[in-house]
Amino acid sequence: MSEKEKMLNLQLYDANHAPELIKERTFAKELCYDYNHLRPSQRAERKQLLQKLLGKTKDNYTITAPFWCNYGYNIELGENFYANYNLVILDGAKVTFGDNVFVTPNCGFYTAGHPLDYERRNAGLGYAYPITVGDNVWIGGGVQVMPGVTIGSNVVIGGGSVVTKDIPDNCVAVGNPCKVIRPITEADKTRSYDRL
């Protein structure tokens, strides 16, 4: 089994010495570099580069530069996806965003991790577990989402959170580690601003 096959099958793999993965990461980094150096007015060129890089998109999506990812082909964007500055996606495994997802600045989605024992970690072994984000999700500034996490639909993740476990539908979650603090209710439809 190749290192890429191991990566895609949730097994420990060696990304540092796998020519195929090195080549794919270099390709993605080159496209990200080109994307990040386009002028904001070059909308058609920006969309063309993202379509070349990303695994799946719908019609309406925006990623504000700078943006970095490992492979690109494991990223799937739903309709009306918006990401603000400094988005990082380490996509050794699938990262799937539903429709109407808003990601604020300085957020990271990390499918990649390493063993806790230093021998395997120092040998360069790692793993990649998928991340899934549902529909109608707002990710606050500086949020970091860890490997294997699923965030449900109709969710707000408060700024600065580190999401290490699954978050259910219809709630506000915040903290390090991120935890549900309350449901989203009908009363939230009448508020213009809430400090959570």
- Tens-place pLDDT, residues 63-83: 999 999 999 999 999 999 999
Please, which pLDDT band fits residue 193 given cuts at 50, 70 and 90?
A: low
Q: What pLDDT is attached to residue 190?
A: 83
pLDDT tens string 87-101: 999 999 999 999 999
d(CA 105, CA 107): 6
Q: Is residue 17 among the annotated active site residues?
A: no
As a whole number of angstroms, the distance between CA 160 and CA 154 comes to: 19
| pLDDT of res. 17 | 93
Has residue 196 got a pLDDT over 60? no
Q: How confident is the model at residue 189 (pLDDT cuts 50, 70, 90)?
A: confident
Report pLDDT digits (tens) over 156-170: 999 999 999 999 999
> Catalytic pick from 4, 25, 29, 114?
114
pTM for the full predicted model: 0.95
DSSP secondary structure of 58-101? -S-EEEPSPEEES-STTEE--TTEEE-SSEEEE-SS-EEE-SS-
For residue 34, count CB atoms less than 10 angstroms from its CB and return exposed for 0-12, middle for 13-18, buried for 19 or more.
Answer: middle
Helix, strand, or coil (residue 14):
strand
pLDDT tens digits, residue range 86-142?
999 999 999 999 999 999 999 999 999 999 999 999 999 999 999 999 999 999 999
Q: Which domains does the chain have, with CATH numbers?
A: 3-190 (2.160.10.10)
